[in-house]
Amino acid sequence: MKKKSKMLTLMLTGVLVAGLLSGCGTAASTKSAEEKVFNYGTVAYSVSNLNAGLNPHEAYCGWSALRYGVGETLFKFNEAMELEPWLATDFEQLDDYTVKINLRDDVTFSNGKKMTGEAVKACLDDLIAVHDRAPKDLQIKSITADGQSITITTEIKSPALINYLCDPYGVIIDMEAGVTADKNVVGTGPYVAKKVTDSEINLEANMNYWGGKPKVGTVNVKSILDGDTLTMAMQSGEIDATQGLPYASLELFENNDDYTISSTNTSRVYQAALNYNSAVIKDDAVRQAMAMSIDKDGFTKVLLKGNGTPAIGPFPANFSFGGDAVKAADYDLEGAKKVLEAAGWVDTDGDGIREKDGQKLSIKWLTYISRQELPLLAESVQASYKEVGIDVQVNATDSYKDFLKAGDYDVFANAFVTAPTGDPQYYFTTHVVDGSDYNNGHYHNDKVEALVGQLRNEFDTQKRSDLAVQISQQILDDHAYIYASHLKMSFVMKKGVTGLTAHPSDYYEITADLDINE
């Protein structure tokens, strides 16, 4: 049966110091677009974030290409996380395995070359040939091009294919131009990168942009990973806007007429994966007690300064399959003590740490420092776990991948956008099924495997939502992951900066609408 969607409205189960840059003064309103310079500081661009560079076919560099206005995807999300056409005009679901995507006829790459079906096919062919995640997500068998359309055939039923094409790895680039040694690309966006390093990107406006002339001529993006340095750069005027300020610093800019703040709730969650390869984590009672001993409310209200929502499961409440659609262990230190005692974990030597069969109840908690709240979460957990007799050894390092590879951890805590495609499938297929890229807990459950298999093949949105709830609940019942808080993302900008708006997908930042005036 043929289905056609002209303006996709799906129920979706759904950063950097610019003071080191030249030309960092504010632009006057009388300046032309070409004369205006915007300096942007962020914590979200770095080698440790796996997004240094603009090649969308490498790791998470597509996030940088998309965020900083170099590239665009075939479809995008609006603020309600509903699908909208972008470089495409619509799609036709020809059958369960085949989708035809019709392309805009007025789009050119920044080098002047027209975006055609053949150009899009070449880009997607390269993506699935070289990217680490896209082949598993997209399951593409073949792509054919015909003028301003492409037809994609998948290996399996792919109800979330269009959603996946919104992922930043789906940024369309000119493969004839290729990728430079410094990881620069030619996209269709409002900006062209003139310099790309591991810590900064210098951009110039694409004055022939198909979507309208950009309002700012030069954008300088600088990675500033230290929160205090980022805060001071914003206060001193060395940068015009920032993403990723420590939550403790946000209050410096609130209720201040010299600044504007744009905030939104997101599906980025602070989560902890419990390593089933660890002898102590294999104990069900230990995992349960750990889940009962994290003060999510305190972490959100005190350490995040209220800039988040205590999490229950992987997805926030704005999704039908998120929020209180599932149930998790309540914060209950006394209850956690009883669970451990019943399982034979007792403090026999009076040092405050429980033991069992001669083994101390000690946990290696691995996390990283580039997202500044994660070490705070580790400190919070360290304190509350101590109260129930669990010792926590915190290893906060941006070399965390080495420890993951060596298996030298009991818990890995990170921040992850759980519904970047507006659909639940992405999180499950990357985190909980066998062989998934981010199943850092080595978790396996036969029921979860079967339910995810059903989800992969289900086109009905309500049934997809129901399956997502079942899967999430099983993960919580197994205490495989602990979800602490869903993040509220904020941009802080000087008064006079407009067109920079926080988006719940965490994808879109620098656009042709960006402007700066005194």
Domain presence at residue 75: yes
pLDDT at 56 (0 to 100): 99
| Domain identity same for 340 and 285 | yes
Residue 357, domain extent:
266-488
Is residue 9 assigned to a domain?
no
CATH code for position 395: 3.10.105.10
Domain presence at residue 115: yes
First to last CA, the chain: 57
How many domains, in total, are found in the chain?
2
- 254 and 350 housed in the same domain: no
Summarised one tens digit per residue, pLDDT across range 360-382 is 999 999 999 988 899 999 999 99
- Within this chain, do residues 300 and 250 fall inside the same structural domain, yes or no? no
Q: What is the pLDDT of residue 372?
A: 85
CATH number at residue 170: 3.40.190.10
Residue 5 lies in a domain: no
Pair (314, 167) in one structural domain: no
- For 54-87, b/e burial (b = at least 16 CB within 10 A) is bbbbbbbbbbbbbbbbbbbbbbbbeeebbbebbb
Per-residue pLDDT of the chain (518 residues; tens, 9 = 90+): 344 443 333 333 333 333 434 444 444 457 899 999 999 999 999 998 899 999 999 999 999 999 999 999 999 999 888 899 999 999 999 999 999 999 999 999 999 999 999 999 999 999 999 999 999 899 999 999 999 999 999 999 999 999 999 999 999 999 999 999 999 999 999 999 999 999 999 999 999 999 999 999 999 999 999 999 999 999 999 999 999 998 889 999 999 999 999 999 999 999 999 999 999 999 999 999 999 999 999 999 999 999 999 999 999 998 999 999 999 999 999 999 999 999 999 999 999 999 999 999 999 999 999 888 999 999 999 999 999 999 999 999 989 999 999 999 999 999 999 998 899 999 999 999 999 999 999 999 999 999 999 999 999 999 999 999 999 999 999 999 999 999 999 999 999 999 999 999 999 999 999 999 97
The rounded distance, in Å, linking the Cα atoms of 19 and 39 is 8
pLDDT confidence of residue 285 = 99
What is the maximum alpha-carbon separation in the chain? 76
Residue 465 lies in a domain: yes
Judgement on whether residues 238 and 159 belong to the same structural domain of the protein? yes
317 domain residue, yes or no: yes
Structural domain contains residue 8: no
Residue 265, strand partner residues = 488
> Quick one: 147 and 245 in the same domain?
yes
Residues 446 and 419 in one domain: yes
DSSP 55-114: -TTSTTHHHHHHHTTS---SEEE-TTS-EEESSEEEEEEEETTEEEEEE-SS-B-TTS-B
pTM: 0.82
Extract the tokens encoding 51. Answer: 């997004």
State whether 175 and 155 are in the same domain: yes
- 242 and 93 inside one domain: yes
Q: Are residues 279 and 218 in the same domain?
A: no
Domain annotation covers residue 367: yes
Phi and psi dihedrals of 238, rounded to 5? -70, -25
322 lies in the same domain as 192:
no
Secondary structure (3-state) at 407: coil
Q: Is 279 found in the same domain as 185? A: no
Contacts of 511 (CB under 8 A, 6+ apart): 69, 190, 499
